[in-house]
Chains A and B, each alone.
Chain A
Amino acid sequence: EDQVTQSPEALRLQEGESSSLNCSYTVSGLRGLFWYRQDPGKGPEFLFTLYSAGEEKEKERLKATLTKKESFLHITAPKPEDSATYLCAPTDDKVIFGPGTSLSVIP
């Protein structure tokens, strides 16, 4: 059965304190992996698509990487406006959303 987990469930960082979020998945025939950001009460907002192991993508303070079993979202020198829930979503013939990591960045 396809599964996706994310850790930690919640993360609290001081402004400027870099860290990483983990997405672990068991999906046969991975066709891609999405990362989304979701603000409270709003719809998820697309960040990245990764297609193959070894691939990396960056956007401002965020960098996403992909291995055969995991994806990481690295956050460098975060700011309070980076506070949100981050969702990963591996795909085979359907998109499977993880439960998310709730990130709080404290000024």
Chain B
Amino acid sequence: EAQVTQNPRYLITVTGKKLTVTCSQNMNHEYMSWYRQDPGLGLRQIYYSMNVEVTDKGDVPEGYKVSRKEKRNFPLILESPSPNQTSLYFCASSPYPVRGEDGYTFGSGTRLTVV
């Protein structure tokens, strides 16, 4: 089954404790992206990657890092999480960044709480 897999689904952590949210896709997509979703603010892009070793900032990159060492994986790293990073996070992938008959395929989400 074609899918984007995120782990973990839920995570509660403390301020300052480094964490990684993993994302993997099995569709051989070139483009991958991370979003956060907050009430009233909608989906905001954190980082994206056009291909292996090619990453760039989205609209809200502060406090996050990413890497794209393999085509299928695109982990999101929070080096020193803070409470304002409490949010619902989604990874997405697509053959193309802005066009395509199939749109983006999203993961099931990671609900992160930083206390």
Interface of A with B (CB < 8 Å)? Answer: 31-32, 34, 36, 41-47, 49, 51, 87, 91-95, 97-100
**Chain A binding surface, main DSSP class:** loop
Shortest distance between the CB of B77 and any CB in chain A (Å): 20
Known: A32-B99, A46-B103, A99-B42. 9 other contacts (CB 8 A): A43-B108, A44-B104, A46-B105, A49-B103, A87-B42, A91-B98, A97-B42, A99-B41, A100-B42
Give residues in B with beta carbon < 8 Å to A.
4, 35, 40-45, 88, 90, 92, 97-109, 111
Cα separation A87 to B92 with both chains bound (whole Å):
15
Tell me the minimal C-beta distance from A4 to chain B in angstroms.
9
Which chain A residues border B44 with CB–CB below 8 Å? 97
Given contacts A98-B42, A99-B42, A100-B42, whether A93 and B98 have CB atoms under 8 Å apart is yes
Chain A residues near B106 (CB, 8 Å)? 43-45
Contact of B98 among A44, A92, A98, A99 (CB under 8 A): A92
Minimum Cβ distance to chain B for residue A77 (Å): 25
* Cβ–Cβ contact B99 & A46, under 8 A: no
With contacts A43-B107, A44-B106 taken as known, whether A32 is within 8 angstroms of B98 at the C-beta atoms is yes
> Are A49 and B101 neighbours in the complex by a CB distance under 8 Å?
yes
B98 touches A46 (CB 8 A): no
Q: Is the CB of B42 within 8 A of A95?
A: no
Question: Could you tell me the distance in whole angstroms from the C-beta of A49 to the nearest C-beta in chain B?
Answer: 6
> Can you name 17 A-B residue pairings with CB atoms under 8 Å?
A31-B99, A32-B98, A34-B104, A41-B88, A41-B109, A41-B111, A42-B108, A43-B108, A43-B109, A46-B103, A49-B99, A49-B100, A87-B42, A92-B98, A93-B98, A99-B42, A100-B42
